Amino acid sequence: MEPGEHLFRRESGRMVATLTRIFGVHNLALAEDVVQDAFCRALEVWKFRGMPENPSAWLMVTAKNRALDVLRRERTARTFAPELGRLLESEWTLAPAVEEIFAPNAIQDDQLRMMFSCCHPRLLEEAQVALVLHILCGFSVSEVAAAFVSSHAAMQKRISRAKKVLAGSQKLFDIADSADFAARLPAVLRALYLLFNEGYHGASAESAVRADLCREAMRLAALLREHPLTATPATFALSALMSLHAARLPARLDASGELRSLFDQDRSRWDAHLVEEGQKLLDLSAHGPELTEYHLEASIAWVHATAPSAEDTDWGMIVSFYDKLTAIRTSPVVALNRAIAIAQRDGPQHGLEEIQAIANSERLAGYPFYHAALGEFQFRSGRPDAAREHFRAALALARNAMERRFLEHRLVACQPALSSSVARE
């Protein structure tokens, strides 16, 4: 194993999902304990004997054996998964039943069940995302807290409340047998979208955290694509969107670690393989009449990903996608991005007018890039004084050192040539 590789993160989601299937969702905490224990035991042995060829398989076997121990020891004291109740009562049926649940394709379904269960309608979106990250992606509470720039205590509270709701649901969400499957799928997609976005645009400054979140969102989206029920056009569109955005990740920071906007990224550093994959996924999303926000966002990302430069981008096409997106989901951030595209197409003055026309723009007041966009347009319209005001406002809202430095550079760029006396002040 490579040092630094997160074996537990990679494996625990599958193990918890499968054990919860056996123990029942009300015993979620027990499943988590057993997984931790199995993991720690395996590592203790590997410490002496070396890593096996296939650590994932070993971990699963360890988890299975621990599960059997628990079932034998506690079957009179606890109730386990109701749908397995009978099978667990006799030793004759216990082992084969557990064996079946640990079959590879069953394990995959368990992860889907868990993903859908985490997106419980009684939970707020941010709680759903935190739960997905904690249970399915094996992030510890402090890692989830770091990802969302929240305190450990606050995240601990949020996650344990969410777990209570999850444990209180009668059983795991069965995607093949639930009337509200169609209603729950959008919530799952949304959670993965938010998870990806947190990695891509989020407030956490640490680039490793960001990349991890994007990767996890992509991994879970791939699971959805592999099951016939969840491989919908919207799932493909969301996956396309993630690939096309992720393709640009390597260029978001330049060689000196500074944040680069889309307009001045080194496009040769974009990941051609991911662009290609995104394009394929976008093709696959085009089956059927469904046109979701993910289709439109993916299409916008595709135009960017295939444009040779910011100037040679088909901004007209991008504006038209934003128009359609606005019709599906009106949000101030979408409106802001649309205004930026219009400024590119028609000039900064038009961009300014669009921004001023945004309804609920007060909801953007706390968003640094709203002020930065205003600053940019004022600057390009030849009003550096007004531009500086906006960049200062943006700077005051910057969420991390990288954003701060980026905005400071913009602020300096629209400074009039300083006379030496002013500079010394």
Partner 1 sequence: MSEFVYLYRGGETNRSPERMQQTMQKWMAWFKELGEKGHIKEPGHPLERGGKLVKGKQKTITDGPFAEAKDVIGGYTLVEARDLDQAVELSKGCPIFDVEGAVEVRPVMKM
367 binds partner 1, rule: CB under 8 A: no
> Out of 14, 40, 193, 367, which residue is the one contacting partner 1 (CB under 8 A)?
40
Can you read off the two tokens belonging to residue 119?
């997106």
Radius of gyration for the chain, computed over Cα atoms and rounded to the nearest angstrom: 25
197 binds partner 1, rule: CB under 8 A: no
> Out of 14, 19, 26, 44, which residue is the one contacting partner 1 (CB under 8 A)?
44
17 binds partner 1, rule: CB under 8 A: no
> Out of 31, 47, 230, 278, which residue is the one contacting partner 1 (CB under 8 A)?
47
* Beta-bridge partner residues of 259: 253
46 binds partner 1, rule: CB under 8 A: yes
Listed residue (194, 189, 155, 223) closest to 17, CA to CA: 223
Residue corresponding to tokens 């531009």: 387
**What is the DSSP-derived secondary structure letter of residue 83?**
G
CA distance 85 to 326: 50
Nearer to partner 1, 63 or 291 (CB): 63
Considering only residues 137 to 166 of the shown chain, the ones binding partner 1 according to CB under 8 A are 138, 140
40-48, 86-94, 124-132, 206-214 -> range binding partner 1 (CB under 8 A)? 40-48
62 binds partner 1, rule: CB under 8 A: no
CA distance 300 to 317: 8
48 binds partner 1, rule: CB under 8 A: yes
CA distance 156 to 146: 12
Helix axes 28-49, 7-23, angle to 10 degrees: 140
68 binds partner 1, rule: CB under 8 A: no
CA distance 153 to 365: 28
Residue corresponding to tokens 């720039």: 149
Buried b (16+ CB within 10 A) or exposed e, 243-266: bbbbbbbebbbeeeeebeeeeebe
Nearer to partner 1, 142 or 261 (CB): 142
51 binds partner 1, rule: CB under 8 A: yes
49 binds partner 1, rule: CB under 8 A: yes
7 binds partner 1, rule: CB under 8 A: yes
53 binds partner 1, rule: CB under 8 A: no
3 binds partner 1, rule: CB under 8 A: yes
Q: CB under 8 Å to 54, separation ≥6 — which residues?
A: none
Task: With CB under 8 A as the rule, give the number of residues binding partner 1.
Answer: 20
Q: Please, what is the minimum distance in Å from the beta carbon of residue 39 to partner 1?
A: 5
> Out of 29, 43, 203, 253, which residue is the one contacting partner 1 (CB under 8 A)?
43
Which positions touch partner 1 (CB under 8 A)? 1, 3, 6-8, 12, 36, 39-40, 43-51, 138, 140
